[in-house]
Amino acid sequence: MGDQVGDRANGGDQHVTQARTPIYGMTDAELESACEQSVPGLSPWAHWTSELYSLGKCLRIYACYPRFLPLYVYSDHGAGLHSWFYPHELANQSRVFLTFHPLKAKRSRALVGKQVIQVPHPWIHYRRSRGIKRLDPAKGTLVFVTHHAPGFQWENHTTEEYFASLRSLPERFHPVVLCLHMHDIRAGLHKRLRVHGFPMVTAGNTSSVMFVDHFYEIVQGYAFATSPGWGSQVAYCVELGLPYFFIGVRPRLVNVSHKEVPLGEVGFQDEFHREFEERAEALFSGVVREVSQAQREFVETVLGLTSNVSRARLSWILWREFFLHIKQWWPTWIKPIWCAARKHGVVGVVRRVRDRIHASRV
């Protein structure tokens, strides 16, 4: 079911094979396997936000920065609509924060000890430089199921009414296929959703450098994409030229245990956040046939494509931070080296040699 695609990891020689079945869907075993497959790349992670969702891979390519060196910058990890910071985005050792949002850098000038720079989202250069385009002919609608995150849960996002609204879409929007996030598959949501009868796919492990490739492999084959509300995928799809629309009642996000925001229903971060959310709601509500100019301009702004930071300047910033963190080089490499040594049996060999030497001396 579906064809097997061999992927080249981060421009190197490592490959991973993942079932890629955009229209007909993936089995439970294929979904689960895709979320466990991870190509970590050649560099250890200094900060997770600048690496997750293949951001580190694409950022290195965009800035002509070696793929085996750590990134000592913090960043947005998606194309969000909020323009202020969560606690973890400030409480870290990085001196530089890279953002895609048009207001985040402007609103942070009063911050002490943190340089905030708006840069273009590196996925876009990656897509364009590799000639990734929509397939012709494209068919069907890809539904991005609103996904949960650790400490949070969504309410009223997988109701029978929602799936009924998907079934009632006009014929030109069919077949309808669900796209699930790694967190939801690991929580078993895919098994519970089988009762609704829709095929399912996933872009797989969010820590893999191949996530961006798997995402585009999926979305490029569809004629439309949808969800109940905003998510980073809206910007990526529209930038690709894929018509996107909101359908269904916007679900409630509830914080059940996360320490960075108050417990209970999660609302707007501030009035700027509300303004962006309301603008997105106005632009994408209602079934559409094509991407409008207003939609494209909105996502290009959110993706930081209006940034005046050149690739050369960004490269200089990454190199500067690398040399300024010289004392962190070895600590950053210790964990991946230790894990690799254990994986390949080196640790066991060293321990046996040590034991033999010790026994010979007794």
User: Is 318 within a domain?
Assistant: yes
Answer whether residue 258 shows pLDDT above 60: yes
Judged against a pLDDT cut of 60, whether residue 355 lies above it is answered with yes
Weakest mean pLDDT among 166-175, 204-213, 249-258, 331-340: 331-340
Closest CA to 272 of 105, 78, 106, 103: 103
Residue 182 has what pLDDT?
Answer: 95
Q: What is the pLDDT of residue 16?
A: 37
Average pLDDT for the chain? 85
Q: Is residue 301 part of a domain?
A: no
**111-125, 155-169, 216-230, 330-344: the lowest-pLDDT one:** 330-344
Q: Check whether residue 344 and residue 325 sit in a common domain.
A: no
Q: Which of 147-156, 221-230, 315-324 has the lowest mean pLDDT?
A: 147-156
Residue 45 inside a domain? The answer is no
> Is the pLDDT assigned to residue 361 strictly greater than 70?
no
Residue 128 has pLDDT above 90, yes or no: yes
pLDDT-derived band at 358, boundaries 50, 70, 90: low
226 and 278 in a single domain? The answer is yes
CA separation, residue 355 to residues 70, 257, 290, 362 (Å): 35, 46, 69, 11
What pLDDT sits at residue 151? 64
pLDDT band at 315 (very low <50, low <70, confident <90, very high): very high
Does a structural domain hold residue 320?
Answer: yes
Model confidence pLDDT, tens digit, residues 18-56: 434 445 789 999 999 999 988 888 888 999 999 999 999
Q: What is the largest CA-CA distance in the chain?
A: 82
Question: Do 252 and 116 fall into the same domain?
Answer: no
> What is the model's pLDDT at position 86?
85
**Is 257's pLDDT higher than 80?**
no
At 8, the pLDDT band (50, 70, 90 cuts) reads very low
- Mean pLDDT, residues 322-345: 71
How confident is the model at residue 359, as a pLDDT?
A: 66
For residue 96, pLDDT beyond 90: yes
Q: Is 139 within a domain?
A: yes
Query: Are 221 and 203 within one domain?
Result: yes
Print the domain residue range for 352. 330-361
* pTM of the shown model: 0.85
Q: Return the bridge partners of 98, or none.
A: 75, 117
- pLDDT score recorded for residue 347: 60
- Percentage of residues in the chain having pLDDT higher than 70: 80
Residue 312 has pLDDT above 90, yes or no: yes
H-run or E-run covering 177: strand 176-179
**At 150, which CATH number?**
3.40.50
Mean pLDDT of 295-300: 97
Q: Pairing between strand 96-99 and 115-118?
A: parallel
User: Looking at the structure, do residues 175 and 234 belong to the same domain, yes or no?
Assistant: yes
Question: Stretch 78-105: mean pLDDT, rounded?
Answer: 91
Residues 190 and 271 in one domain: yes
Number of domains in the chain: 3
What would the pLDDT profile of 63-83 be if each residue is shown by its tens digit? 999 998 999 999 999 999 998
113 and 235 together in one domain: no
Contact between 78 and 280 (Cβ < 8 Å): no
**Span 243-261, average pLDDT:** 78
Within a domain: 85: yes
Identify the H or E element spanning 356. helix 346-361
Q: Which amino acid is at 47?
A: H
Angle value at C-alpha 76, between 81 and 71, nearest 5 degrees: 170
The 8-class DSSP code of residue 9 comes to G
pLDDT of residue 343: 66
Confidence (pLDDT) at 175? 95
Direct distance between the N- and C-terminal alpha carbons of the chain, in angstroms, rounded to an integer: 62
- Is the same domain home to 255 and 342? no
Q: How confident is the model at residue 1 (pLDDT cuts 50, 70, 90)?
A: very low
Q: Provide mean pLDDT across the span 309-320.
A: 96
- Is 46 domain-assigned? no
pLDDT mean over 147-152: 70
Classify residue 65: in a domain, yes or no: yes
Q: Tell me, yes or no, whether 146 and 261 share the same domain.
A: yes
Lowest mean pLDDT segment, chosen from 9-18, 121-130, 193-202 = 9-18
pLDDT for 243 beyond 80: yes
The reply to whether 139 and 29 lie within a common domain is yes
| 198 and 322 together in one domain | no
**Domain match, 170 and 198 both:** yes
**Residue 35: per-residue pLDDT:** 94
